[in-house]
Amino acid sequence: MSAVLKYGTPLASDMRVATVGLAANDVGLFVPPKTLRRGFHEISRDVVPRRKFDLWFAVERAVFPCLFHMIAMGMFEEDEPERRDILKAFEDDMEEWAKLMLPSQFHDFRREMLSLVHLITGTLIDKQIGQNGGWPTVRLMMVGSGLVQLCDHYACEAFFTTRFELSFNAMLSALHFVAGDEMASSEVFATKALRRVCSALKQRGRFGWVLFPVSGDPDAC
């Protein structure tokens, strides 16, 4: 079943946001040793002994707060009240995923997270010289929104935290208020750009569990 993309759509609470599996800033249902003798109970992740998580489990999730943190830096003016809260939320989200890593994994985690963000933004850069060159915020948000929807659609467990959900939706709402018409007119570009980003990520061997729309596929998007 392919995802039906609706650009600019908020990440809704009925889209399995932090409701199953491990959610970084929520209480998780863990199965400690000898659980069957004591019964199931919910405990905070903070009291669970550290164990080695798969590097890419954390990296693929941390890419999104890192990406949208970068977009928010350019989207909001320094004196806008929501700027600080949104940036702080994305920073906390990245930190939560980083905390899952053992010290020996942290360097690789940070390197791979930034590498994927640079891959996404590098694919979307407009090399035109002048006012329209660089990374237009609306286009970055549109493609980022498409990636969020794809990952939420195909993930078999919780992929985004509730904190990310709130901040992401706040950014979409703020951008839609000031650039709703531009967002609507950018959908054709966003679809083409999303395919380029998807292709680049697949070439890196990442997000292989997502059925990305591939250029040339008549059913893509």
Bridge partners of residue 134, in order along the sequence: 126
Check residues 113 and 75 and name the one with the higher pLDDT.
113
Instruction: State residue 34's pLDDT score.
Output: 40
27-36 burial by CB neighbour count: b if 16+ within 10 A, else e? ebeeeeeeee
**How much is the mean pLDDT over the chain?**
75
Instruction: State residue 9's pLDDT score.
Output: 61
Q: Which helix (H) or strand (E) holds 202?
A: helix 187-203
Instruction: State residue 119's pLDDT score.
Output: 94
Do residues 24 and 164 lie in contact, with contact meaning Cβ atoms separated by under 8 Å? no
pLDDT tens digits for range 124-171: 876 654 455 456 788 888 899 889 988 888 888 878 888 898 999 999
Q: What percent of the chain has pLDDT over 70?
A: 67
DSSP letter at 50 equals P
Instruction: State residue 33's pLDDT score.
Output: 41
For residue 182, pLDDT over 90 is answered with: no
**Every domain of the chain and the residues it spans:** 53-203
Residue of 45, 13, 16, 55 lying closest to 157 (CA atoms):
16
Do residues 67 and 148 lie in contact, with contact meaning Cβ atoms separated by under 8 Å? no
Which residue has 């989207």 as its token pair?
Answer: 75
d(CA 194, CA 149): 11
For residue 216, pLDDT over 50 is answered with: no
**pTM for the full model?**
0.74
Do residues 195 and 211 lie in contact, with contact meaning Cβ atoms separated by under 8 Å? no
Average pLDDT for 5-28: 44
Instruction: State residue 195's pLDDT score.
Output: 87
Instruction: State residue 7's pLDDT score.
Output: 58
Percent helix, percent strand, percent coil in the chain, to nearest 5? 60, 0, 40
